[in-house]
Structure 1
Amino acid sequence: MALHGGSWAAAAAERERRGEAYVLATVLSTAGSTPREAGAKMVITGEDSWASIGGGQLEFLVIQRARAMLAGGTTQQQVAGIPLGAEARQCCGGSVSVLFELIRPGEGDAVVFGAGHVARALVPMLAELAFRVHWIDNRAELLSASPPGVRAVHLADPLDALSTLPDGAEVLVLTHDHELDYRLVRALLADFRWRNVGLIGSRTKAERFRTRLARDGMPAALIDRLECPVGLATVPGKRPMAVAIAIAAGLLQRGSGADEGRDGALDWRQLRRLLEPATE
């Protein structure tokens, strides 16, 4: 674990750029003798911290509480009063009130290969849900109406995009071409640095792809990482919007850490209501 100096604002901006969760700790008020004035801030992640609100045991307690918030992931804001003498054992003897703000920048990166009907329904949905969307296809005209904030990439061979994609992304293969689907899946599994690789298609298509991958020498452990059919099976319907909702729900559920059938799992009906403007 490392403590860094420098600007808290620059550290927060860099965490946002990387899509990394962090806690912004701000001294709201002080009483008596304290090491820093109200308004002092620091940025804390699971491994590092930047800037300072006074050092010593006070900072240790603040970092400890911030990391508990990051590990729990439920409470977005907390205010804590810390007496420097009794709790922090600092000679100042005053007290501080600290605001803790848990910030999770977006839902991470989502890569969508293909610009067919399902992809065109899904991409605006993912953008609305705060994913950083990379949309890749070999038909420029279908990418021309991409939503604001979406990184639309036209490539004659979509496989050329793989080296530019961020590690840990959710990757969705939704192209119009089964052979292109296969080439993408094989390359993605061979260099598995993604959160998940999902492929649109039926169970028959999934079985054919898995058989072919095995025949081409792909280890079973890598083949097992392919999600096909992709999306929540509990979402009914085969129309493009229904399939898009199933895929979005699957990504959100994986992000929430909830398992199907357990308390806290996403209900597709709630998701559909949430996304009503996108489904009209």
Structure 2
Amino acid sequence: MSLDLPALREAVARHGAVVRILVLSVAGSVPRDAGTSMIVWKDGEEGTIGGGELENQAVREARAMLGQPARLVLRSVPLGPALGQCCGGSVTLVLERIDATSLPGSLPFSRPLPGTTSPRPTADLRPGAPPLLRDGWLIEAAPEPGRPLWVWGAGHVGRAIVDVLAPWPGVAITWIDLGPDRFPGSAPPGVTLLPAAEPPALVRYAPRDADHLIVTRSHELDLQLCHALLLHGFASLGLIGSATKYARFRSRLTALGHTPAQIARIACPIGEPALGKHPQAIAVGVAAALIKSATSGQRQERDAIG
């Protein structure tokens, strides 16, 4: 996880001065990984570094820093001896007071620790790389682009899926329905809304490595989208429905010229059937499958590099 510069800028614009708490490095069993961060202001906070006494004490110190000049503090915390937490590992935190004068202009973001006199080092950090401490300088990379996810339909299930997945930094959500009135009054931050009278016409603009979830109110529109996406290409395609609906779609898609192997790439029903059919239950199952797929791919990439 990397610095979310738009979120930090928005927090500073709303609250003036904020303190960002960053997990710089970890050892052993800990609540969150290196690169995790949260933002604290006078009467609120956003994000979490894992909760518990570690976060409780860090937030208290962060609020005490708000009335002070901009500065950066490094804290190494053994979770067991210092806080009585059962994790047993240790965490190094950075607490950094940030206001409009100290906001980073771009990423990667490099700044010296207090007392550092060495020149700014060069560091070629790939997007999404964990924070780096080099020669007394703290360096954070640009975030890794989110995995493109196109959600077709803004009904109960579509809304539940977007609500569950939007906070996860692993996706970049594009949300499509027939008109602006189909969407909720406000969408989660970072979600792109695309009202369209003819949603299948938008398929051509989808990245070919995008994941798609079709959850519209119309079976006919669902079929048109499946047909268009099978012609276009995708990373994965999930269709809301039952085994009966899927059987009928297989027959109709076959008549449209698609092979059994192509049609078999459509997952229907979506989610985890054992969780039930409530919109939030479907959303949780869908989210779990996407996150599992993404983290599995990241592990394979790391193994290939290593």
Q: Is residue 81 of structure 2 the alignment partner of residue 40 of structure 1?
A: no
- The TM-score, its normalising length taken from structure 2, stands at 0.53
Distance 1:203 1:99 in 2: 53
2:123 alignment partner AA: K
Rounded to whole Å, the distance in 2 between the matches of 1:206 and 1:191 is 20
Q: Secondary structure of the residue that 1:128 maps to in structure 2?
A: coil
Q: Percent identity?
A: 33
2:268 is matched with 228
Matched residues, number: 187
Matched, 1:158 2:240: no
| Residues 207 and 99 of structure 1, relative CA distance in 2, 3 Å threshold | farther
**Residue 245 of structure 1 corresponds to which residue in structure 2?**
284
Matched, 1:129 2:174: no
Gaps of 5+ in 2: 1-107, 298-306
Question: Which runs of structure 2 are paired with 1:1-280 in the superposition (5 Å)?
Answer: 38-44=120-126, 76=130, 105=144, 107-130=146-169, 131-145=171-185, 146-192=187-233, 194-234=234-274, 236-257=275-296
**CA-CA distance at 1:112 after TM superposition:** 0.5
Q: What's the CA shift for 1:195?
A: 1.3
Deviation at 1:202, TM superposition (A): 0.9
Query: Secondary structure of the equivalent of 2:212?
Result: strand
Change (3 A) 1:98 1:225: farther
Tell me, in whole angstroms, the C-alpha distance in 2 between the residues paired with 1:197 and 1:228. 9
Which secondary structure state, in structure 2, belongs to the residue aligned with residue 246 of structure 1?
Answer: helix
Q: Residues of 2 paired with 1:201 and 1:108: CA distance?
A: 24
Number of the residue aligned with 2:71: none
Structure 1 unaligned regions, length at least 5: 1-23, 30-35, 46-69, 81-95, 259-280
The amino acid that maps onto 1:240 is P
Q: Distance in 2 between matches of 1:233 and 1:77?
A: 39
TM-aligned CA deviation for residue 239 of structure 1? 0.9
Alpha-carbon distance between aligned partners in 2 of 1:98 and 1:155, rounded to the nearest angstrom: 48
Deviation at 1:224, TM superposition (A): 1.5
- Asked if 1 retains the 8 angstrom alpha-carbon contact of 2:125 and 2:141, the reply is no
